[in-house]
Chains A and B, each alone.
Chain A
């Protein structure tokens, strides 16, 4: 079955450590996105990529980095520069280079900084 796989489901990190969240899709979607979700808030865009080897910052990119070396993969690194990294991270993809189709979301990674 086609879909988006995010791993791990739960992640604990010590302060000062970088951590990389995995996102893999087999939908042959061109565009991929990383969102952050905090309790009582909507989804906020961190980074997005419409094509391999190209990506753009979203509204809250500070303290995060991404890469898009393959169409199927869009990993997100949460660096130690991110001041409040504890959150639910969602990866999404959509057909085409324009966000004019419904997003398909992965099941998310819950990151806790301890």
Chain B
């Protein structure tokens, strides 16, 4: 199907540790988007990746798009309590009319 698999489902880290979530597809992706949803909140768009092998950084967040465009990752360096939330990846549908969201990775940061 057009779903994307996201792992892990949950991750608990000590504050200051790094965190990575992965998004995998069985088919080639035209692009991938990442969103963050704080507890009790709504998803907020973080970034879109389009090119094979693309790497983008936003402060402590590093986003990568695989060379084969079938996977993507979000890495957070030295987590802070403000990083708590669920991180979703989303892939564009084959028709280009909508995005399919992964099941998300819930990040808990222990102070």
Contacts and interface: CB of A to CB of B under 8 A. Distances in A.
B104 interface: yes
A35 B31 CA distance: 20
Contacts of B98: 33, 45, 48, 58, 99
Contact of A90 (B42, B92, B100): B42
Interface residues of B, number: 24
Interface of B is mostly: strand
B20 interface: no
A99 B93 contact: yes
Interface of A: 33, 35, 40-45, 48, 50, 56, 58, 90, 98-108
26 contacts: A33-B98, A41-B103, A42-B88, A42-B102, A42-B104, A43-B88, A43-B101, A45-B100, A48-B97, A58-B98, A90-B42, A98-B96, A99-B92, A99-B96, A99-B98, A102-B47, A102-B48, A103-B33, A103-B43, A103-B45, A103-B99, A105-B42, A105-B43, A107-B41, A107-B42, A108-B42
